[in-house]
């Protein structure tokens, strides 16, 4: 019964804000078009469609607000006006009762809150769609009192999201079956992606692990501060971390009054992003201004402070290799190679014509080369490539969509701090060094190190394998010999690669550096 009432309320909000108009023109069933027009009588539909969608999601509650935030990252699927409007959704959600937060903490740690913390501030300092944050003082394992931030999951979130997700899946099926536009927007896939993100964010231990990994990766960079997790106080519903103090990065006037060099801050943000993406393949994927502060403490003055690690992106070696080759082809205006890379990766149907895809990529990229570098937005280039690729049925990879969304955030934030920010020249030294590592001798050595344990384990077993071979029947011997020869061929390939790599290193390093510096950049 509750699901029926919730479904009726959602339907009323959909009609009240005219969301049916988003797909009205593509209804193929005449009776549905007539019904939609009848229920549209008396509604005010003068507001833009993106604004109406955003207001409807806010009316439906925190789960739908979070859905809108995730949906805003799928610029490859949404029209630009809707994506821009959904990007305005903020985590300004009313806090829940502090007594409820205390009850959750006491249930998680099975003792009164006064025994868990030395002191606990009942008034929350921040409230979002998934959780809210309180300040407290806790004692660590050494008995030292430390100021901490306590993140508490909203009560009843799991049953609420399961109910709403079930309705979303049902609505996505309707949209996909009733509308040609709906099928193109892939509503089922979008809801499935939202399901994954939301369940990940509901496990605060997982978020704490993400933060710990980023903190470890960034330890030697000295550009960003990531709070330390107090693992003795971490639970799926409660996360306790080091309390961070800084100025929100959106308050640029306050930063300048404090003496922060905002131009250097913009360049540091680009360095942090490219380091996380291309060196580590593990990046903070929710870097909107609400999750970033700047330290003004004397010891860490001017460093970024990252918060909220519920959404992170990861890149495989294949992803990084794909990006490396695309960057190289893009800088050289080799649009045919960009098209070939899409086909080789299997992201477009095998029958796609290279020349047609090449022409589409050229139409996106070529106009940017006639502009000053500071006016070129790499995020916008990627976004337009995603949009252009729709008609070629390109399967956009979720991790690359997160990358593009994060890059747009970084560029927008960087140019607020420094309107003259030149993303390309700022990132050039890093990309140049990274590409040398991707195709240079260091890459060969890394591959050899990775394969060495396998062959070190195999070599001692060779006498035993030979003895077993000699004891087998002729038919079995033939099969075993074939397997042994195949393994020998693989070993020979590795040894040949080592020899040729050594020779190539001696002869080709200077040439390689020259080619990358002159041709690519």
Q: What does the DSSP assignment read for 184-225?
A: HH-HHHHHHHHHHHHHHHT-HHHHHHHHHHHHHHTTTT-SEE
Structure tokens at 293: 């502060």
Q: How far apart are CA 441 and CA 395, in angstroms?
A: 33
Structure tokens at 86: 């959904």
Task: Tell me phi and psi for residue 219, to 5 degrees.
Answer: -60, -40
Q: How far apart are CA 415 and CA 106, in angstroms?
A: 45
In whole angstroms, how large is the CA radius of gyration of the chain? Answer: 27
* Beta carbons of 235 and 109 less than 8 angstroms apart: yes
Q: CA angle, corner 119, sides to 118 and 121, nearest 5?
A: 160
Q: How far apart are CA 62 and CA 291, in angstroms?
A: 18
Q: What is the 3-state secondary structure (H, E, C) of 463-481?
A: HHHHHHHHHCCHHHHHHHH
* Beta carbons of 208 and 307 less than 8 angstroms apart: no
Q: How far apart are CA 509 and CA 504, in angstroms?
A: 8
* Beta carbons of 125 and 133 less than 8 angstroms apart: yes
Q: How far apart are CA 108 and CA 433, in angstroms?
A: 47
Task: Tell me phi and psi for residue 313, to 5 degrees.
Answer: -110, 150
Q: How far apart are CA 125 and CA 147, in angstroms?
A: 14
| Residues with Cβ within 8 Å of residue 401, at least 6 apart in sequence | 73, 74, 75, 76, 386
Task: Quote the distance between the C-alpha of residue 310 and its chain's center.
Answer: 10
Give bridge partners of residue 151 from the DSSP assignment.
133, 239
Report helix, strand and coil shares of the chain as percent, to nearest 5.
65, 10, 25
Task: Tell me phi and psi for residue 206, to 5 degrees.
Answer: -65, -45
What's the longest Cα–Cα distance across the chain? Answer: 90
Q: Does 286 qualify as catalytic in the annotation?
A: yes
Residue 173, Cβ neighbours under 10 Å: how many?
Answer: 14
Q: Which of 268, 286, 319, 418 is catalytic?
A: 286
Question: Residue 434: which of 306, 279, 204 has the closest Cα?
Answer: 279
Residue in this structure with the two tokens 């922060």, named with its chain if needed: 260
Question: Residue 310: which of 385, 403, 239 has the closest Cα?
Answer: 239
Residue in this structure with the two tokens 């959750």, named with its chain if needed: 104
Active centre residues (catalytic): 286
């Amino acid at each position: 019964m509750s699901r029926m009432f919730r479904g009726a309320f959602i339907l009323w909000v959909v009609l009240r804000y005219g969301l049916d108009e988003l797909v009205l023109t593509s209804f193929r069933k005449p009776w549905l078009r007539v019904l939609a027009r009848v229920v549209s009588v008396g509604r005010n539909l003068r507001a833009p469609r993106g604004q109406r969608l955003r207001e409807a999601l806010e009316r439906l509650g925190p789960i739908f607000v979070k859905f809108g935030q995730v949906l805003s990252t799928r610029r490859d699927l949404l029209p630009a006006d809707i994506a821009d409007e959904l990007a305005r959704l903020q985590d300004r959600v009313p806090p829940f009762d502090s007594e409820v937060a205390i009850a959750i903490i006491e249930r998680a740690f099975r003792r009164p809150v006064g025994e868990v913390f030395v002191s606990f501030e009942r008034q929350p300092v921040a409230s979002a769609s998934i959780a809210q944050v309180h300040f407290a003082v806790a004692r660590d394992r050494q008995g030292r009192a430390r100021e901490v931030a306590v993140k508490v999951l909203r009560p009843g979130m799991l049953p609420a999201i399961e109910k709403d997700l079930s309705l979303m899946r049902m609505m996505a099926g309707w949209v996909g079956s009733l509308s040609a536009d709906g099928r193109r927007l892939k509503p089922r896939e979008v809801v499935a992606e939202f399901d994954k993100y939301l369940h990940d964010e509901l496990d605060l231990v997982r978020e704490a692990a993400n933060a710990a990994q980023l903190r470890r990766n960034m330890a030697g960079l000295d550009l960003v501060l990531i709070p330390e997790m107090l693992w003795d106080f971490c639970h799926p519903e409660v996360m306790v971390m080091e309390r961070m103090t800084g100025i929100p990065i959106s308050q640029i006037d306050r930063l300048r009054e404090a003496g922060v060099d905002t131009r250097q801050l913009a360049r540091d943000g680009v360095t942090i992003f490219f380091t996380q993406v291309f060196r580590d393949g593990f990046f903070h994927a929710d870097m909107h201004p609400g999750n970033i502060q700047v330290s003004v403490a004397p010891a860490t003055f001017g460093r970024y402070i990252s918060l909220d690690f519920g959404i992170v992106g990861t890149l495989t070696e294949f992803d990084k290799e794909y990006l490396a080759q695309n960057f190289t082809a893009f800088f050289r205006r080799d649009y045919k190679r960009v098209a070939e890379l899409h086909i080789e990766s299997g992201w477009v149907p095998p029958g796609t014509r290279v020349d047609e895809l090449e022409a589409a990529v050229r139409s996106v990229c070529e106009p940017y080369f006639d502009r000053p570098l500071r006016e070129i937005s790499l995020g916008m280039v990627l976004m337009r490539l995603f949009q252009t690729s729709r008609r070629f049925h390109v399967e956009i990879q979720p991790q690359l969509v997160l990358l593009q969304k994060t890059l747009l955030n970084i560029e927008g934030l960087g140019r607020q701090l420094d309107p003259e920010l030149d993303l390309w020249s700022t990132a050039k030294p890093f990309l140049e060094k990274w590409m040398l590592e991707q195709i240079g001798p260091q890459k060969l050595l890394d591959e050899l190190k990775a394969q060495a344990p396998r062959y070190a384990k195999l070599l001692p077993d060779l006498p035993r394998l030979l003895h077993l071979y000699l004891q087998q029947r002729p038919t079995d011997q033939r099969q075993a010999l074939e397997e042994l020869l195949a393994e020998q061929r693989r070993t020979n390939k590795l040894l040949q690669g080592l020899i040729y790599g050594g020779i190539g290193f001696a002869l080709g390093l200077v040439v390689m550096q020259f080619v990358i510096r002159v041709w690519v950049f």
